[in-house]
Amino acid sequence: MFILAYLGIILALGLAYLTIDTIYSWYRLRHVPGPFSAGFSKWWLFKHTWNGTLYLESAEQCFKHGSLVRIGPNDLITNDPDILKRMGAPRSPYRRSEWYNALRVDRENILSERNEERHAMLRNKMAAGYAGKENPTLEQGIDDCIAKLVDLIERKYVSTVEEFKPLDFARKAQYLTLDVIAAVAFGGPFGFLEKDEDVFKYIETTEKTIPAMILCAAFPWLSILFQSPLLKFLMPKDTDVYGLGRIMGTAREVVHERLQPDAKDRMDMLGSFLRHNLSKEDAETEVMVQILAGSDTTAGSIRATMLHLLTNPPVLAKLLAEIQNAGVSDPIQDSEARKLPYLQAVIKEGLRIHPPVTGLQSKEVPPGGDTLNGYYVPAGTKIGSSAWGVFLDPGLWGPDSRVFRPERFLEGTPDEIRRKEIDIEGIFGYGRSSCLGKSVAVIELNKVFVQLLRKFEFTIVNPQQPWKSFSAGVFIVSDMWLRVTKREPPL
């Protein structure tokens, strides 16, 4: 009887603590609007993270309630670019939250590192390599990979009246970005385009891993569990034959070779990292992280922009006319692409209407709290970004914000156009959290549409379901089937 009474007391105290904690959590952010249940539990956040709708639902909540919305007991989200810039500014007191713990693979990296001093150190040592300042063959390497994509299509996927050869553009776009980032990072592609296959099942395994990773980001205790010694055997290892583990093993082999006494200095991204004294362990990790972070995002932008081009004939016709009249080189040079105003507007509009990164990337409110758009937000609160809330906001982009219309980047006063260009930069993040790989991604985007469209005509096989897409921080896309024919004459 005594034991039962003791257990009853413990249970009652536990329930009392849980009740008080729940009420306190609700109370401290009760003045911030949002879904009712979000004030008491993380069910709303879990539900939409699990089913891949968080990017859409969070945007709709912002449109409904305003620029700051509660989506969990201690979680807010914003679609205000000014708040996001404030949190990401170089001297901002905001810090990365536990959300970033889930991005740790094997060890801390530029994506997961929450220590500000170490994060700044990594950025400083890697910035020149990402910017291409020490890689004179960067553009040529990208040209070579795009040429392999063109060659692959010509050899295997050009349809005729007699023969239909469907192309899964979702896969080929990712083959391209994986080979580009490998060429930039390692000095040579992995061979996805050359072999026309998912080399060592990298895409297959990462597409299974990424949803779990984004769930761990939303629920940090899951990261602690999976990264614990108890379950570490489930994590990728450099001895794996397939997937991210294989990338880890390759990265370590390449770094080891570069550090041999008789090794020659290479003018590529890894060479730049090592010249700037990035440690062996950090170099191994960061080269591997480039592959994970740099391929999915750029592939997502290529797929989405191509889809919107193919479903908007007036836009496509205007872009083709600009390419034809410009008399650009083959392959087009980055410097030429930057001078084509409609191409640049198409690229920006593609990034805007379908932002490639949908993760919250939450920051933590500093000690003393902060007041944002009239709301006092106590210290320790996590504030995430709603990318779709920012870039589909009618208040920022006009009443046709959900329409693919590149002309919006060419309209208005110089100040209005400049404001749009500044806001679209938010696709790559702000300040300390801005994407180091932006330069590489921009060169790819400047080239790939011109090179494909000048040589081929593309038709969506099934307009009713042009692709299968699932959001897990980035978009996992498959079955984007296109019919390809040669453009006669080529542009």
Which residue ranges are tagged as binding site? 435
C-beta neighbour count of 9 within 10 angstroms: 10
As annotated, the binding site for heme includes: 435
Between CA 194 and CA 172 the distance in angstroms is 11
3-state secondary structure the chain: CHHHHHHHHHHHHHHHHHHHHHHHHHHHCCCCCCCHHHHCCCHHHHHHHHCCCHHHHHHHHHHHHCCEEEEECCEEEECCHHHHHHHHCCCCCCEECHHHHHHCECECCCCCCCCHHHHHHHHHHHHHHHHCCCCCCHHHHHHHHHHHHHHHHHHHCECCCCCCCCEEHHHHHHHHHHHHHHHHHHCCCCCHHHHCCCHHHHHHHHHHHHHHHHHHHHCHHHHHHHCCCCCHHHCCCCCCCCHHHHHHHHHHHHHHHHCCCCCCCCCCHHHHHHHCCCCHHHHHHHHHHHHHHHHHHHHHHHHHHHHHHHCCHHHHHHHHHHHHHHCCCCCCCHHHHCCCHHHHHHHHHHHHHCCCECCCCCEECCCCCEEECCEEECCCCEEEECHHHHHCCHHHHCCCCCCCCHHHHCCCCHHHHHHHHHHHHHHHCCHHHCCCCHHHHHHHHHHHHHHHHCCEEEEECCCCCCCEEEECCEEEEECCEEEEEECCCCC
Cis peptide before 136 (omega within 30 of 0): no
214: which 2 tokens? 């984004």
Distance between CA atoms of residues 41 and 72, nearest Å: 6
CA–CA dist 54, 114 (Å, integer): 24
- Lookup result for tokens 């693919």: 404
Q: How far apart are CA 230 and CA 245, in angstroms?
A: 19
Structure tokens, 191: 């061979």
Cα distance between residue 417 and residue 421, in whole Å: 6
